[in-house]
């Protein structure tokens, strides 16, 4: 089937669905959840090549290797990222560890953004550096020259995220693809933060893209999963080996169904996430008790030009600095009702998170200081609710902060 003349909004609703419907009972419009762990093969086939079963040709043996529901999702994910090969994993973490594992060996070197997702940073240091003898250099990848300077002859992989969490820093995917390819290395991009609807790293020159589908792709905060998409056949083969045999960290049929369902509304959700986030960012930027707002859609974002160049939208995550000490931040957060205090992001419901004591608490104070993660930094995943309710809620937070600050001032007078 030629998918290349279809638009994203069409692929995200139907692509993969029909090809993988194996039911002989009815012409399902939606692929069922194939819960079976194994498949009756009908008879002996001494010539069968178990290493390369083709699910598209109906070749199924065992569900860890392939499953019709997962296969449908893998086709959908590849189409949405504009790539050839898609693979669905049990988590974003599983997708990342498999991709990095497929590209490096002991003695190799990786250059990564110093502002990566906390779990990925820990994985790179505790698993790849400490156990597997892979050297990792973290750099401020906002500057492509800093990345180029960190590259060595044994560098096999550049690992990037853009925008980053929680400071919404960007790196220039096209420039870094040049740096990687000049060095004979691959560029991997974690595209979780704005989804393929707003940013397509493969088209900008990246070699492989990963996602935590837990976030925008599933979009409803009710499934944990991950994805990898690449055009590189050899790399895809290595990653698939790890997914199916080397690690067995594939996505379950139920979660594959959840993500298939979630992706159908991704374009609609992303538009509303962005509209709401921009309104929240504008409101925060004009507030006296806010000293900084980090959102790539704002003209005040130092990399707004790059954002306009490589993204078609800015997503729903932003962070900001309150003009308050930790106690004041607590008052603000405690007064919010539409923004439960919780990690994760990308669901239809708004969430608020305090990086210094939650996602980034495993870092030392010095490491947080160096990254710019202060006690007064607050991150929001802005959902798709009515904007008036979200702004009214923030007003409630600021009222609580103001009265707490007045009380402190009164007692110290
Ligand atoms: C959440 C997240 C991950 C990890 O994904 P899990 O599904 O939690 O394993 C990786 N990268 C980014 C940018 C994330 O936000």
* Per-residue pLDDT tens digits for 332-379: 999 999 999 999 999 999 999 999 999 898 888 998 999 899 999 999
**Residue 60 Cα to chain centre, angstroms:** 30
Determine the residue of 88, 89, 94, 119 to mutate for testing ligand 1's pocket, defined as the one with the most ligand atoms within 8 A of the Cβ atom. 119
Over residues 298-318, the mean pLDDT reads 98
Token pair in block for residue 266: 């991704």
pLDDT at 255 over 90: yes
Q: How confident is the model at residue 386 (pLDDT cuts 50, 70, 90)?
A: very high
Ligand 1 centre to CA of 212 (Å) is 5
pLDDT reported for residue 1: 46
Tell me the percentage of the chain whose pLDDT exceeds 90: 86
Provide the angle, in degrees to the nearest 10, between the axes of the packed helices 233-241 and 92-103. Answer: 120
pTM: 0.96
User: Rounded to an integer, what distance in angstroms lies between the CA atom of residue 213 and that of residue 83?
Assistant: 16
Determine the residue of 93, 191, 201, 344 to mutate for testing ligand 1's pocket, defined as the one with the most ligand atoms within 8 A of the Cβ atom. 93
* Per-residue pLDDT tens digits for 34-47: 999 999 988 888 88
Token pair in block for residue 239: 């990653």
8 A C-beta contact, residue 118 and residue 145: no
Ligand 1 centre to CA of 359 (Å) is 11
Pair 223, 110 in one domain:
yes
Domain end call among 220, 245, 263? 263
Pair 245, 306 in one domain:
no
Pair 10, 156 in one domain:
yes
Pair 131, 230 in one domain:
yes
pLDDT reported for residue 212: 98
Q: Is the CB of 112 under 6 A from ligand 1?
A: no
Residue 64's domain is classified under what CATH number? 3.40.640.10
User: Rounded to an integer, what distance in angstroms lies between the CA atom of residue 77 and that of residue 71?
Assistant: 10
Catalytic positions are 64, 117, 190, 215
Pair 116, 158 in one domain:
yes
Tell me the percentage of the chain whose pLDDT exceeds 70: 97
Ligand 1 centre to CA of 50 (Å) is 32
8 A C-beta contact, residue 293 and residue 351: no
Pair 243, 271 in one domain:
no
SS3 12: helix
Pair 90, 189 in one domain:
yes
Q: Nearest-CA neighbor of 88 among 261, 206, 204, 257?
A: 257
Q: Note down the domain range covering 389.
A: 266-412
Q: Is the CB of 162 under 6 A from ligand 1?
A: no
Q: Estimate the share of the chain in helix, then strand, then coil, as percent rounded to the nearest 5.
A: 40, 15, 45
Pair 125, 235 in one domain:
yes
pLDDT reported for residue 20: 62
pLDDT reported for residue 47: 80
Q: Is the CB of 118 under 6 A from ligand 1?
A: no
pLDDT reported for residue 3: 65
Ligand 1 centre to CA of 93 (Å) is 6
Q: Quick one: 13 exposed, middle or buried, by C-beta within 10 A (0-12, 13-18, 19+)?
A: middle
Determine the residue of 212, 213, 219 to mutate for testing ligand 1's pocket, defined as the one with the most ligand atoms within 8 A of the Cβ atom. 212
Pair 194, 123 in one domain:
yes
Quote the mean pLDDT of the chain. 95
SS3 209: strand
Ligand 1 centre to CA of 81 (Å) is 17
pLDDT at 2 over 60: no
Count other C-beta atoms under 10 Å from residue 26's C-beta.
Answer: 8
Which residue's CA is the nearest one to ligand 1's atom 11?
117
Residue 279's domain is classified under what CATH number? 3.90.1150.10
Which residue's CA is the nearest one to ligand 1's atom 6?
92
Which residue's CA is the nearest one to ligand 1's atom 8?
92
Q: Nearest-CA neighbor of 255 among 10, 35, 78, 80?
A: 35
Over residues 187-210, the mean pLDDT reads 98
């Amino acid at each position: 089937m030629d998918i290349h003349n279809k638009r994203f909004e069409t692929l995200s609703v139907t692509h993969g669905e029909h090809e993988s419907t194996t039911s002989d009972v009815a012409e399902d419009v939606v692929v069922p959840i194939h819960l079976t762990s194994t498949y009756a093969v009908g008879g002996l086939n001494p010539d069968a090549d178990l290493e390369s079963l083709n699910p598209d040709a109906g070749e199924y043996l065992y569900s860890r290797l392939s499953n019709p529901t997962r296969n449908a999702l893998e086709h959908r994910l590849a189409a949405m990222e504009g790539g050839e090969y898609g693979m669905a994993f049990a988590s974003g973490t599983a997708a990342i560890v498999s991709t990095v594992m497929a590209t490096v060996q002991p003695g190799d070197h990786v250059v990564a953004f110093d502002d990566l997702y906390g779990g990925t940073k820990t994985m790179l240091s505790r698993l790849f550096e400490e156990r597997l003898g892979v050297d990792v250099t973290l750099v401020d990848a906002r500057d492509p020259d800093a990345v180029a300077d960190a590259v060595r002859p044994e560098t096999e992989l550049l690992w990037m995220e853009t925008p980053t969490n929680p400071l919404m820093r960007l790196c220039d995917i096209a420039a870094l693809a040049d740096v990687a390819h000049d060095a004979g290395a691959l560029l991997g991009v974690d595209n979780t933060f704005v989804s393929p609807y707003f940013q397509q790293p493969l088209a900008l020159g990246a070699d492989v893209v990963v996602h935590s589908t837990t976030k925008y792709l599933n979009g409803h905060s009710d499934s944990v999963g991950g994805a990898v998409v690449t055009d590189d056949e050899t790399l895809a083969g290595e990653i698939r080996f790890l997914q199916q045999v080397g690690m067995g960290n594939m996505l379950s049929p139920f979660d594959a169904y959840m993500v298939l369902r979630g992706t159908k509304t991704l374009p609609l959700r992303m538009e509303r996430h962005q509209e709401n986030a921009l309104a929240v960012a504008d409101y925060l930027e004009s507030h006296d008790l806010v000293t900084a707002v980090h959102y790539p859609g704002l003209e005040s974002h130092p990399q707004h030009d790059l954002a306009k160049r490589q993204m078609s939208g800015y997503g729903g995550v932003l962070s900001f600095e309150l003009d308050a000490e930790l106690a004041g931040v607590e008052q603000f957060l405690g007064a919010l009702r539409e923004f439960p205090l919780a990690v994760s992001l990308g669901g239809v419901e708004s969430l608020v998170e305090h990086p210094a004591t939650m996602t980034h608490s495993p870092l030392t104070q010095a490491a947080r200081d160096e990254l710019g993660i202060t006690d007064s930094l607050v991150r929001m995943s802005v959902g798709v609710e009515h904007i008036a309710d979200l702004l009214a809620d923030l007003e409630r937070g600021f009222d609580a902060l103001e009265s707490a600050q007045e009380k402190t001032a009164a007692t110290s007078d």
